[in-house]
Amino acid sequence: MADYDLSKTIIPFLDRHLAFPLLAHLAETGIFPENEVQIAQYELASGTNMFDYAASLFRQIYSNQEVPKEFDEKRQNVVSMHETLQQEAQAVLDVIENLDVAQSLRQDKNQNLHYLKEHYNLTLEQITALYNFGKFQYSYGNYSGAADYLYHFRVLSTDADLNLSAHWGKLACDILAGKWDTALEELNTLRETIDSRTPSSLVPSGNGSQAVDPALNQLHSRTWLVHWSLFVYFNHPQGRALLLETFLSPTYLNTIQTSCPWILRYLAAAAVISTPTPSSTNSIPLSSRVKNAVRDVVKVIQLEGSQYFDPVTEFLMQLHVEFDFEAAQKALRKAEKVVSDDFFLGEFREEFLESARCLVSEAYCRIHQRIDIGDLSERLNLPRDEGEKWIVNLIRETRMGQDAKIDLEKNLIQISRPPQPIYQSVIEKTRGLAIRTQALGAAVARPGIMSTNANTTTTVS
Amino acid sequence: MSRFFRQAGDSDSDTDSSEDELMSSGDEAPPPKTSTAKPAMSRFLRTAGSDSSDTSSSEEEESDDDSDAPKVTKKSPFLKSDSEDEESDGDDESRAGVRIMSAQEKRLAEMEATGKAMDNALKINDWVAISNEFDKLARMIQRQQNMSEPVPPFYLKTIMTLETSVTNTLAKEKEAKKKMNATNAKALTAMKQKVRKTAKEYEQDITKYQADPDGFEREYAAATAKEITAAPGAKASTTVSADTGDDGFQAVGKHGKTMLLTTEGIFKSLQVVQEARGKKNTDRAEQIRILEQLLKVAVTSYQRIRVLLALVSSRFDYNSSTANYMPIDLWLSAQREVDQLVAIVASDSSYSIQEITEDYDELVERSPGTEKDGIVRVRGSIISFIDRLDDEFTRSLQNIDPHGTEYVERLKDEKVLYCTICRAQAFYEANKQDEPLGRVVMRRLEHIYSKPDPVVLALENAADASDIKPALTLASNGSTSELIHGLCVYLYKSGHSLFRTRAMLSHIYHYAFHNDFHTARDMLLMSHLQESIHSADVATQILYNRTVVQLGLCAFRLGLIKESQAMLQDIFTTQRVKELLAQGVHQQRFQALTPEQEKAEKQRQLPFHMHINTELLEAAFLVSSMLVEIPLLASIDSEELKRKAISKPFRRLLDFADRQIFTGPPESTRDHIMQASKALQDGEWEKCRDLVQSIKIWSLMPEAASVKEMLARRIQEQGLRTYLFTYASHYITLSLSLLSRTFDLPLRTVTSIVSKMVWNEELSASLDQSGGVIVFRRIEVSRQQQIALMIAEKINTIADQNEKNMEHKMGGAANWGDRNDGKQGEKRGEQMQERRGKREGTRGARGGARGRGGRFAYGLGNQMARRT
């Protein structure tokens, strides 16, 4: 199954620290030889300030060799650097944590800066110390501490570049610390910042200083954001729906199509997972985008079929484009394995399967009038008895309406779906009209529009 | 002028006619006073007796160079035997004179020609012609006088002869009575007066001439000779000293007659040539020949560069009219010379050719040592030569009949042209001159982007054999796609927006041509060219159209029928396919094009070998239209809906075919497709397949066999769909296995197709798995219900329209009534696109046509999105 493993494609788009969990997962699943994964982990760690971890990895890999001396030297450096940075940062923290100061701080950053300078002689450079210390803490793995410092820095600093960098840092910290709620918040603000198209570079620290095309830059940062957000979306309870919302919005869909088509797997999986199943009795109303997610995703998959292709997308293709249930069944079997091996999707294997079965049976029932239960169970990758149980459940949950009846004598499901009466479809068609017209009326009545209208008429004349 | 004196002076004057054709026409001029002239001349020439041998040897020398030299050598003995030494000396001078003053020479020749014509007319008593010729001659003389040159004795002589013949004829006329027609008689009297008037004007000269013709002629000769001897005389001395270093014989031989064409005098003669350039009476062929000679004597790189620059531009000057193309041999030599030029500059970095340089003295030899920074900068532009070469090549292809062998022959020259371009590219790469490099790379790309791999390979092999190679070659890149990719990437980075656009289009074209549909399509959509193409220049628009059409063909070859149909649709609805692809001029029905427009249109045409076969294109379009349209036609039953056609051109043809009372066996491609469509409608998919496959034009498609197979399959599938739509109302149940047998499709495919139709609610039916049948449900819709549905739809359209208008007024930016509904947002995006498309449509006729061609890309996007 190594063919379908995406870790290699995804890691280049992640921060060094974010890649650790992925590698750890790989070590667990055992798709790749353990030794190779360990070497990769070591190399990853040796680029950070996490010397103890790196050293222990080193010992694991080269058990008969001495740990290089440079680790100790580096450790000395780091400790001393830590001291100095902490002192610098502490000075600022002391001021900020003062209650008076906290109260007199306002929304306006410039004013705050002015105020701090006047009363406490705090300059921008000093505030930057917060950023440096936060970054430093991050580099040796103290994520929650780093998150705090970066937060404070962001509140005070006016430097757009560093602010953005701090943003990314904070997101990474939150992800690694497992605080999904804050991470989600962070993600959303970051997304807004990126979408607002600031001309300055948006790529996180390191390679941000090149003078490249802003549009390209934006694409880059969106790609990064897409990858980082996978952590959040597949861990936050509401994540899947949010993922669909985000990734199916035109800008991000474009990003995915242009620079990272492999994300389609997650998109497809999320779409499958979030289709309501009989067992999931969530009462949260879904937005229309999520409801139609499968349909939209199928369109995208079809378009990008030449670029990216794996069992998960194949399953949807076979089911909703080709209507080849046999091939869909095969693809589903493969997809199951892929999903369970995937770092992000692994936990959702059951849900994925359940929803996928639901999708299959729904499509099956819509097309057929009489269905052989045995056949259907086979299509669902279920043994006959279980299949029957499952189908009964399905019918009981009234997902299929009252039109489905089981004929046990012939082992059949009878579906009688009376055609929709004409008046019903007329009602459907005209349903939204009143609201739309109201909205239109309201818009016309809004004062701002009259002036713009006047403007356009003058320019025309 | 010296020519003239000989003309009048003696009969042997034609010995030097080797100079040029024009002169020889004067050979037959009557020689009245030869005998008297001879003694006088020989007397005068005795002193210079030794010259004669020089001359003859130099004549022989010349024979290496001049094509018509044999004539010269043959005649020279005769010349010597006459002891006309002076004559031959004059000959030398005249030769030199010719070299310098070819304008004058030409005038004289013209005069002689006129005189001859007059003589001829005299013989047949055609006074109208005489009158005309005389007027012409008078004008020429007038010009001669304006340039303050003496009146040639030839003219005086002519006047005298005319006077006598006029009086003679008038006398005869009186006796013969009414022999001449009215116009001739009128011309005669007019002539009488004219001659009398002119004779009066030149009375003095004539009397002088009559008194002593020889004396007059000598005087004239002296007057003209003076001018000539002045310049060469001075030069001769320097040449001798310079030439002593060379082979002795040659030096002596040369300096007599080709004095000007020496190493020393190169810059002077260059200047003379350059000054004459562009003047009205300059003989261009003569100039080229002079420059060729100069090139032979040029020694240093600097001289060669200078001469080559002048030579190539004068070759390009040769044909001034824009309508015609450059003669091929000239083009070939120009190409070789550009090669030489590039070779010189590339091999020696201390010389550089630039468009803008500091002023320098044109007459001084320069070398790297004399320059400040060791680099000799010469004014000139290789890139413009390359551009011109390429343009001339295209023009010649445009003008040559594409079906003749000449065209093929000419096409072979593309190889050398391509080599030259590659060489220039290598040169600019080495020099790091980005601007011309971009141009060269673009030229190179344009030569290969539309060609199949073997042709590119041949071109590249030729280029590879050259000693100077560019960085990007086929050998270094491995495949043509890589090569083109490399060239395009360079152009993308070059920052020149026009090149970027053109490179992008060529790149897409190449991908489409190599059946890489998805990459090509993604690139086209991502480039957003369809939004800006209307403001591009016409050539780029043509390229865009070509690219789009090629993409459509590519989709067709790959069996992506819907995509292909959507892409080709736009260009076919315009009904000006040929014009839009620059493969022929459109016949305007209502207004005629102005000549300028027509000319511009003609210049825009692509050479034949680059054409995309329009018949093939049409076949692809119509077949894909058939496959899309026929099932659709079958699926809709109300008359109202039937009017909405996807492919209007196809629908039109189909309607037309329907109205025919008798249908004969199919002849044209269209006939085939129309009959195939009818067969498909009737469910006879086999007949349809046979008809479509028997279209001959498919053989032009690279993978004809696989395409035909693909078509057969599509026809089966669409036939099944059509059948189901058409006959659904007649069945309650229909067995899948029967369908599978009838349409020769696997059961699985049939099930899949039927499932798809059920799922998309195209067919109100469902499958009965246990029985293996389709169960149809019929819904009877009453008239009232139908109308209710219709009105609901219409109201929806109105609401949409309102929203659209509203949004238009708001400028799109303000999101009024945004209900945070994702679907709404999407819809808006679509609306915007549609609106943009509409706006394009309202542009002027031409823009509109292009616009439609461009909008298809939207159509494509929508099509993709709509597909389920």
A289–B823: do the CB atoms touch at under 8 Å? yes
Taking contacts as CB-CB distances below 8 angstroms, the residues of chain A near B829 are 250
Q: Is the pLDDT of residue B282 over 60?
A: yes
Q: How far is B289 from chain A (nearest CA, A)?
A: 55
B766–A369: do the CB atoms touch at under 8 Å? yes
Comparing B595 with A264, which gets the higher pLDDT? Answer: A264
A452–B809: do the CB atoms touch at under 8 Å? yes
Q: Where are the domains of chain A?
A: 368-415, 422-460
Minimal Cβ distance to A425: which of B789, B802, B829? B789
Report, as an integer, the average pLDDT of B650-669: 83
Q: Is the pLDDT of residue B226 over 70?
A: no
Query: How confident is the model at residue B806, as a pLDDT?
Result: 82
H-run or E-run covering B776? strand B773-776
Q: Is B607 left (phi over 0), alpha (psi -120 to 50) or beta?
A: beta
**Widest distance between CA atoms in chain B:** 130
A439 interfacial to chain B (CB closer than 8 Å): yes
Taking contacts as CB-CB distances below 8 angstroms, the residues of chain B near A288 are 821-823
In this prediction, what percent of chain A has a pLDDT beyond 70?
A: 84
Taking contacts as CB-CB distances below 8 angstroms, the residues of chain B near A372 are 769-770
Taking contacts as CB-CB distances below 8 angstroms, the residues of chain A near B562 are none
Q: Is the pLDDT of residue B334 over 60?
A: yes
Taking contacts as CB-CB distances below 8 angstroms, the residues of chain A near B756 are 322-323
Task: Kindly state the tokens that stand for B754.
Answer: 């039927």
Check the CA dihedral B31-B35-B40-B42 and report its sign: positive
d(CA A421, CA A306): 41
> Tens place of pLDDT for every residue, chain A, 461 residues?
567 778 888 888 888 888 888 888 888 877 778 778 888 888 888 777 777 777 777 777 777 676 677 777 777 888 888 888 888 777 777 777 776 766 666 666 777 777 777 777 777 777 788 888 888 888 877 788 888 888 888 777 777 778 888 888 888 888 888 888 888 888 888 888 887 765 444 444 434 334 456 778 888 888 888 888 888 888 888 788 888 888 888 888 888 888 888 888 888 888 888 876 655 545 455 566 666 788 888 888 888 877 888 888 888 888 888 888 888 888 888 888 888 888 888 888 888 888 888 888 888 877 888 888 777 888 777 787 887 787 777 777 655 555 677 777 777 777 776 667 778 888 888 888 888 888 888 887 776 544 444 444 333 33
Q: How far is B609 from chain A (nearest CA, A)?
A: 32
Residue in chain B nearest A321 by alpha carbon: B868
Residue A102 identity (one-letter amino acid)? A
Indicate the SS3 state at residue A407: strand
Minimal Cβ distance to A367: which of B759, B796, B867? B759
Q: Does domain B731-779 have CATH number 1.10.10.10?
A: yes
A430 interfacial to chain B (CB closer than 8 Å): yes
Q: How far is B811 from chain A (nearest CA, A)?
A: 9
Query: How confident is the model at residue B465, as a pLDDT?
Result: 76
Q: Is B722 left (phi over 0), alpha (psi -120 to 50) or beta?
A: alpha
Residues 18-77 of A with CB under 8 A from B: none
Indicate the SS3 state at residue B348: coil
A372–B770: do the CB atoms touch at under 8 Å? yes
Q: Which range among A59-63, A328-332, B184-188, B810-814 shows the weakest confidence by mean pLDDT?
A: B810-814
Mutation site, A255, A294, A436, interface B, largest B CB count within 10 A = A436
Q: Is the pLDDT of residue B13 over 70?
A: no
B825 interfacial to chain A (CB closer than 8 Å): yes
Average pLDDT, rounded, for chain B = 72
* C-beta neighbour count of B617 within 10 angstroms: 21
Taking contacts as CB-CB distances below 8 angstroms, the residues of chain A near B779 are 419
B759–A323: do the CB atoms touch at under 8 Å? yes
B823–A417: do the CB atoms touch at under 8 Å? no
H-run or E-run covering B353? strand B351-354
First to last CA, chain B: 88
B224: closest CA among B540, B6, B387, B12? B6
Q: Kind of pairing, strands B765-768 and A368-372?
A: parallel
Helices (H) and strands (E) in chain A, counts: 25, 3
CA distance readout (Å), B29 to A157, B12, B23, B77, B157:
103, 11, 11, 22, 12
pTM: 0.68
Q: How far is B362 from chain A (nearest CA, A)?
A: 47
Q: How far is CA B99 from the centre of its chain?
A: 34
Are residues A413 and A394 in contact, defined by beta-carbon separation less than 8 angstroms? no
Q: Which range among A15-24, B119-128, B434-443, B842-851 shows the weakest confidence by mean pLDDT?
A: B842-851
A324–B752: do the CB atoms touch at under 8 Å? yes
Taking contacts as CB-CB distances below 8 angstroms, the residues of chain A near B811 are 452
Indicate the SS3 state at residue A342: coil
Q: Where are the domains of chain B?
A: 2-232, 263-386, 496-612+798-807+823-868, 615-730, 731-779
Q: Which DSSP string corresponds to A410-449?
A: TTEEEE--PPPPHHHHHHHHHTTHHHHHHHHHHHHHSHHH
Residues 266-295 of A with CB under 8 A from B: 287-289, 292, 295
B785 interfacial to chain A (CB closer than 8 Å): yes
Indicate the SS3 state at residue B774: strand
Comparing A303 with B278, which gets the higher pLDDT? Answer: A303
Q: Kind of pairing, strands A368-372 and A412-415?
A: antiparallel
B769 interfacial to chain A (CB closer than 8 Å): yes
d(CA B544, CA A304): 24
Taking contacts as CB-CB distances below 8 angstroms, the residues of chain B near A289 are 822-823
B769–A371: do the CB atoms touch at under 8 Å? yes
pLDDT digits (tens, 9 = 90+) for B677-695: 988 888 888 899 998 888 8
Q: Is the pLDDT of residue B9 over 50?
A: no
A440–B806: do the CB atoms touch at under 8 Å? yes
Taking contacts as CB-CB distances below 8 angstroms, the residues of chain B near A439 are 816-817, 819
Q: Which range among B200-214, B433-447, B590-604, B837-851 shows the weakest confidence by mean pLDDT?
A: B837-851
Residues comprising chain B, all counted: 868
Q: Is the pLDDT of residue B508 over 90?
A: yes
A369–B775: do the CB atoms touch at under 8 Å? yes
CA distance readout (Å), A54 to A67, A81, A249, B210, B339:
10, 19, 41, 121, 63
Query: How confident is the model at residue B555, as a pLDDT?
Result: 92
ipTM of the complex, rounded to two decimals: 0.75
B748–A249: do the CB atoms touch at under 8 Å? no
Taking contacts as CB-CB distances below 8 angstroms, the residues of chain B near A431 are none
Residue in chain B nearest A444 by alpha carbon: B806
Mutation site, B748, B809, B821, B833, interface A, largest A CB count within 10 A = B809
Query: How confident is the model at residue B509, as a pLDDT?
Result: 92
Task: Kindly state the tokens that stand for B733.
Answer: 């149940």
Q: Virtual CA dihedral for B832, B833, B837, B839, nearest 10 degrees?
A: 20
Residues 397-426 of A with CB under 8 A from B: 410, 412, 415, 417, 419, 422-423, 425-426
